[in-house]
Structure 1
């Protein structure tokens, strides 16, 4: 009986001591997320026409100026007679984001123009 009591107290003290040990949690306060690419995939021309370009610019706000970003645009007209698929990409550093968006607008307009020729009417 004495051995069982000693064994019980020893086990109890180990569990109690194990519960009291403090661990330090590490928190990162300066976590920075960066977006390096954005891809628009669509199955209709209307989706490409309704892109809000101000929102596209705000997505890349947290990037450093030297960070390379890419804007991709894809259309897949499954319902068209020829099943047209097209994609275009514009890329460059974040510091030139305004000119990238201007190029992307021109790219999307040309993709829309090409896609309209393949769309069923």
Structure 2
């Protein structure tokens, strides 16, 4: 035995349309709230990045410089070095520059001392044999 569906009364259609409108409004409110929460999180993350970039920490500067250079397609090692130097204070930069200049000036002296030590070692080995 088959039954045929009777057409729904017009009051039921109106109730269904009203329920769909309420559901649509509820979903729109949910979407607005979700997007608002997401935007708040993004703003909080951006604020924490601002704090990180303002910090004068050489290690943090090196990490951020390396990440920035890697994202730009450059050498991350060079970017990390530049980031670390940028995060240093002026007095630390001057001390680093003086240490590099001193190392360059003393390099020939170090090479001569190593050559003298090598000659002495060769003479000692030759004298023992």
Per the TM superposition, whether the score is higher than 0.5 is no
Larger RCO of the pair (alpha carbons < 8 Å, separation 6+): 1
Greater helix fraction, Structure 1 or Structure 2: 2
Please say which structure displays the higher CA radius of gyration: 2
Structure with bigger strand share is 1
TM-score (norm 2): 0.30
